[in-house]
Amino acid sequence: MRDAPEDQSITVSIPGSASACAVPDSTDAECRRAADRRMTQRLLMELLVVVVLLIPICVYEFAVDPVRRGFFCDDESISYPFHDNTVTPVMLGLIVGLLPILVFVVVEYVAHLRAGDISATVDLLGLRVSTWFEELARQTSFFCFGLLLTFDATEVGKYTIGRLRPHFLAVCQPQLTDGTLCSDAANLHRYVENYECAGEGFSMEDVRQARLSFPSGHSSLVFYAMVYVALYLQRKLSWRGSKLSRHFVQFALVMVAWYTALSRVMDHWHHWSDVLSGSLLGVAGALITARFIARMFDEGVHGIGIVTGGLRRENTAATLQEEVCPSTPPPYSANGSFNEDQYCTKV
């Protein structure tokens, strides 16, 4: 009887892909093309999700007005003077958007350079690109997904609560429907719901922004970005020369977030509780994204060894010429005598 033919399948593992190509009688090139197609489809789907997450942000910013809340004319918490932003929206965009991507670029490039696979390529959106660029795209998509989730959650809070900023009275300059002003003695301790904002010296956008205090968008976004990058560095990098170097960089990132959050209270753009809530929201977003989306803490997903020189940790038992035992049995046999065969010893 003729023996059954052996399975001629070829398995090809693609960096950054959870699945392998195993197709009977297929060539290595065919397997790689199939894996590249799956990779491209996955990336396109992730880009589509990112676009969908942008829709609520655009709707809130351009088509929705925040809840209109009343106030007490003598409320000191909303009577602070108006100050310009210490951390402007442009600066925030550079910190939250550009800085993390630059970190991803440097880390992924150097890691693959040290691993010796910098010249390896994959097919991505019909183009042959380096594997390090494909990994960069994956890491960036994870980061952007979590960032947009945090942004969406922040916008929902702002437009649902409609909390007044500390400088609300200075920007709005409310005029009551009876023609009086908040500064009139008759209106002290009076809760006002029907009013119009004169807003002299301020734009309509300034007046609208004065109703969007809770939670702090600066705090939520910057804490998300900096904590996520700190976790990324913790998982990806280690410096052989100085054990504290990585932790110093992580501390610096968190301090950038901390200063940004403090500046919101200092500039009278937010109450302290707005900043606290925004910061907690950002940290939660970073932890959830790192744990469940980027899966940084999963066993078997090792760091990229910029100084350790490889993508994977190796079992050192073979190097030390030791016999590896799955478990250590009891030292005595059933009759109570010592059993040398039950021991696993070094060679």
Residues annotated catalytic, as ranges: 218, 270
CB 228 within 8 A of CB 143: yes
CB 272 within 8 A of CB 208: no
- Listed in order, strand segments (DSSP E) in 109-190 are 121-124, 127-130, 174-176
Helix (H, G, I), strand (E, B) or coil at 24: coil
H or E stretch including 261?
A: helix 245-266
Spatial neighbors of 131 by CB under 8 A, at least 6 apart, are 15, 16, 112, 117, 120, 121, 122
Spatial neighbors of 157 by CB under 8 A, at least 6 apart, are 214, 215, 277, 281
At 252, list the tokens. Answer: 């610096």
- What does the angle CA 234 – CA 46 – CA 112 come to, to the nearest 5 degrees? 40
Cis-peptide into 329, omega within 30 deg? no
